[in-house]
């Protein structure tokens, strides 16, 4: 078995997802396309496909069980994480892949065409200007940031993104943030909230078989 396929299967097992040879091969083709494009277009942050599978793919597949079905918006998708993997796992869901940069959107258009992933829609637009109030089920973000957000602490960042989503996309939408240990700063804010407010902000640890440093899924509501 190809080494990348073996790591993909290991990640799938850890995430307790149903495996198939077809799905593993599809994920492998996506990784091959991503790193082929990355050589000339610089659309992700690593040049090591094994690290990418063990870190990024593992994180993204691990959160699938927490996400609702339906129409999901992946904000700042870059090379398609986590939206592409969510689309592969949740085949009945529709995933909007939003990014303000042309290069990743061109790549995602090719992924949709060549890998025949019909339930994704790449969209070139900023999060602030995306105001399509359709029947969204959830919003998901992985390492999303803007120049303004980099000046905020993590709690203020979550509040700002949630406020923008409420204004542009509607109320009572869950917003999921896949992030690292900076999420721990939210604990004191969660503890300080009243019982009625606590369910508007939650924190779930996302474990990994490969790394000891912790990852988290933060959930807020618009």
Asked if the bond preceding 82 is cis, omega within 30° of 0, the reply is yes
Kindly list the domain boundaries of the chain, sorted by start residue. Answer: 65-221
Q: Give the CA distances from residue 210 to residues 43, 59, 80, 84, 222, in Å, rounded to whole numbers and listed in that order.
A: 24, 11, 22, 22, 34
Phi, psi for residue 152 in degrees, rounded to 5:
-100, 155
102 Cβ contact list (under 8 Å, min separation 6): 124
Q: Which two tokens stand for residue 10?
A: 């290991």
Burial readout 113-150 (b: 16 or more C-beta within 10 A, e: otherwise): eebebebbbbbbeebeebeeeeebebbbbbebebeeee
What pLDDT, on a 0 to 100 scale, did the predictor assign at position 74?
97
3-state secondary structure of 10: helix
The bridge status of strand 136-142 relative to strand 71-75 is parallel
Give me the tens of pLDDT residue by residue for the chain, a chain 222 residues long. 589 999 999 999 999 999 899 999 999 999 999 999 988 888 888 889 999 999 999 999 999 999 999 999 999 999 999 999 999 999 999 999 999 999 999 999 999 999 999 999 999 999 999 988 678 999 999 988 788 888 899 999 999 999 999 999 988 999 999 999 889 999 888 877 655 555 588 999 999 999 888 899 999 998
Q: Give the CA distances from residue 137 to residues 34, 174, 206, in Å, rounded to whole numbers and listed in that order.
A: 27, 7, 21
Fold of 65-221: Rossmann fold (3.40.50)
The Cα–Cα gap between 17 and 29 comes to 19
- Of the candidates 218, 140, 220, which has an alpha carbon nearest to the alpha carbon of residue 179? 218
């Amino acid at each position: 078995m190809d080494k990348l396929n073996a790591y993909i299967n290991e990640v799938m097992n850890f995430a307790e997802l149903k495996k198939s040879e077809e799905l593993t091969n599809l994920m492998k083709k996506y990784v091959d396309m991503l790193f082929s494009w990355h050589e000339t277009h610089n659309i992700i942050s690593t040049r090591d496909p094994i690290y990418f599978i063990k870190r990024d793919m593992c994180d993204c597949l691990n959160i699938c069980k927490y996400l609702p079905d339906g129409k999901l918006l992946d904000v700042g998708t870059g090379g398609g994480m986590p939206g592409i993997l969510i689309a592969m796992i949740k085949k009945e869901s529709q995933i909007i892949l939003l990014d303000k940069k042309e290069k990743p959107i061109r790549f995602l258009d090719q992924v949709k065409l060549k890998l025949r992933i019909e339930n994704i829609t790449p969209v070139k637009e900023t999060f602030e200007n995306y105001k399509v109030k359709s029947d969204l089920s959830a919003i998901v973000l992985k390492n999303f940031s803007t120049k303004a957000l980099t000046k905020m602490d993590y709690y203020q960042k979550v509040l700002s993104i949630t406020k923008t989503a409420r204004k542009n996309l509607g109320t009572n939408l869950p917003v999921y943030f896949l992030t690292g240990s900076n999420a721990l700063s939210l604990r004191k804010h969660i503890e300080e909230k009243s019982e009625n407010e606590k369910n508007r902000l939650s924190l779930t640890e996302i474990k990994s078989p490969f790394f000891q440093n912790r990852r988290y899924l933060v959930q807020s509501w618009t």
